[in-house]
Amino acid sequence: VPYTFQDASLLDVRSYVGGGWENSSENKTFAVEDPADQQILANVSDSSVADYERAIDIANTAFKAYRQLTPSNRGQLLRNWAQAVRESSRDLAALCTLELGKPINESIKAVAYAASCLDWFANLADQGCGGETIPSSGNGGRNRIWTVRRPVGVVCAITPWNSPYSGVLKKIAPALAVGCTIVHKPAPETPLCAMALAKTCQRAGFPAGVYNVLASSPGRAAVVGSLFCSHPSVRHVTFTGSTAVGRYLAERCGANLKKITMELGGNAAFIVFDDADLDLAVRELIACKFNSSGQVCIYANRVLVHKGIEKAFTDRLLVAIQERVRLGSPWDDKVTLGPLYAKAGADKIEALRADALAKGASLHTPDVYEDGSTYYPPTVMTRITQEMRISHEEIFGPLVAISTFDKEEEAVSLANSVDTGLAGYVFTQNISRLFRVAEELQAGMVGAQTGSISAIEQPFGGVRDSGMGREGSIHALEEYTDIKSITLAL
């Protein structure tokens, strides 16, 4: 690894439970791979179901005192955490490049964004969660109702590998802001990032047991998930990952009446009308396709281009890719496209590409992918049709799949022809059409004249098979609180 850690104590393969660091009670470990060369990076403690159960009990005990802290106490702790993240920002960025293969410049930005998420929720924590006063007709008009928001209790979080800092903090920070305590299972691909983040949390001075992080091997995910959904002390399960796993967890939480936040898969349409500013659309598509090697759930999956501009758009896109997208080692600061998170990512893209080619798609970029590699070259295909798997499945990689439409209604109906509803994008210089289409898209989030929509103040989440609940924005606090109404008879 071409990097020397300034603070080696950030690197830990144990779990963070009850304010301390421990190995799994079974003394087992699992291997984590470097996506750049597919060699083993570390062996990480593989927590058992009993370890998670103990952590839930600890979090439940910690909740009793933590919920009593004042809003400004909790705000200060979150602000300390942001500071601790900033102090370790170089090392945290390097870990993200190491485990995820994210180009180092992107990793540095990702850590800065993570710290800003903590600051943002620190400010919300300071303000506290206010309630309302409601006039009532009860008791001859003498009743008054007021409401207070209460933290739900222990929250269990399950997170994926693709955003190991801000993706985690968007769940953890609002829950901590309102007074909940947490047991977190990070993705088995990025446990070192999770443990380093927990180190910075420990340094921020949170009381022991408020935030607990335990990693486990892929084979245990289902039993750990079942525990989270059924343990009587757990009040809320917050999950980001695939629709299939989200459905499984939501069913079990339903059976046990636990609250859920589900951030699931997407299949975003990126619509470009014939009156669009093509340079803008191309620039935004590059941002919405190649950052993080395209492994972001809100990124463009289906590029729908008006048939009159297909050639002009594709030609400009190919030039822009040539000029701006550079595939290579994630440690090279001129590289903008690193490896995929694992070989499984490349296998999926290859299968979608082969299926599309067999069904008549055209390939516009050199056919240079080396079988077995995690480095996937930027790829552009046109003549994509509904019969192809690529129109219905998440690509999650640097492959642009372009199809055409004629009328506005056709664009909207194609965009809405999938079961998911996470994000959508629309490019046109006609302001009425921009609003109309943005409102018609079945998606929780729309980029109108932009492909960069992520911001901590944005309500982030999907509709339909993309899940429920919102992260980011003040609505995130609602996820982790219940409303209590108090009726007073005057």
Q: At what angle do helices 71-87 and 104-127 cross, to 10 degrees?
A: 170
Residue nearest to ligand ADP (CB): 225
Q: Of 141 and 218, which has the nearer Cβ to ligand ADP? A: 218
Q: Of 1 and 222, which has the nearer Cβ to ligand ADP? A: 222
Residue pair 30/217 in contact (Cβ under 8 Å)? The answer is yes
What is the smallest separation between the CB atom of 394 and ligand ADP, expressed in angstroms? 9
Q: Are strands 181-185 and 211-213 parallel, antiparallel or unpaired?
A: parallel
For residue 247, give both structure tokens.
Answer: 């459905």
Q: Which of 96, 297, 310, 394 is catalytic?
A: 297
Q: Could you tell me how many residues make up the chain?
A: 490
DSSP secondary structure letter of residue 141: H
What is the smallest separation between the CB atom of 215 and ligand ADP, expressed in angstroms? 9
d(CA 190, CA 40): 13
297 given a catalytic annotation: yes
Burial 25-41 (b: 16+ CB within 10 A, else e): eeeebbebbbbbeeeeb
> Please, which residues bridge with residue 236 across strands?
155, 259
What is the smallest separation between the CB atom of 202 and ligand ADP, expressed in angstroms? 22
**Beta carbons within 10 angstroms of residue 320's beta carbon:** 15
* Residue whose C-alpha is closest to residue 157's, from 144, 141, 173, 140: 173
What is the smallest separation between the CB atom of 226 and ligand ADP, expressed in angstroms? 7
d(CA 195, CA 15): 7
Q: Of 194 and 309, which has the nearer Cβ to ligand ADP? A: 194
What is the smallest separation between the CB atom of 263 and ligand ADP, expressed in angstroms? 10
**Beta carbons within 10 angstroms of residue 72's beta carbon:** 14
Residues that bind ligand ADP (CB under 6 A): 158-160, 185, 187-188, 218, 221-222, 225, 241-242, 245, 248-249
What is the smallest separation between the CB atom of 466 and ligand ADP, expressed in angstroms? 13
DSSP secondary structure letter of residue 333: T
Q: At what angle do helices 278-287 and 310-324 cross, to 10 degrees?
A: 50
Determine the residue type at 48: S
What is the smallest separation between the CB atom of 69 and ligand ADP, expressed in angstroms? 29
263 given a catalytic annotation: yes
Q: Are strands 143-151 and 481-489 parallel, antiparallel or unpaired?
A: antiparallel
Q: Of 122 and 214, which has the nearer Cβ to ligand ADP? A: 214
Residue pair 398/294 in contact (Cβ under 8 Å)? The answer is yes
**Beta carbons within 10 angstroms of residue 81's beta carbon:** 29
Determine the residue type at 121: F
Q: Of 35 and 225, which has the nearer Cβ to ligand ADP? A: 225
Residue pair 423/447 in contact (Cβ under 8 Å)? The answer is yes
Burial 166-199 (b: 16+ CB within 10 A, else e): bbbbbbbbbbbbbbbbbbbbbbbbbbbbbbbbbb
What is the smallest separation between the CB atom of 312 and ligand ADP, expressed in angstroms? 35
For residue 10, give both structure tokens.
Answer: 């950030």
What is the smallest separation between the CB atom of 245 and ligand ADP, expressed in angstroms? 4
* Residue whose C-alpha is closest to residue 342's, from 374, 371, 295, 310: 374
Q: Of 143 and 242, which has the nearer Cβ to ligand ADP? A: 242
Cα radius of gyration rounded to whole Å, the chain: 23
Residue pair 369/377 in contact (Cβ under 8 Å)? The answer is yes
Residue position matching structure tokens 């008054």: 144
Q: Which of 99, 106, 189, 263 is catalytic?
A: 263
d(CA 470, CA 64): 26
- Which residues are part of the catalytic machinery? 263, 297
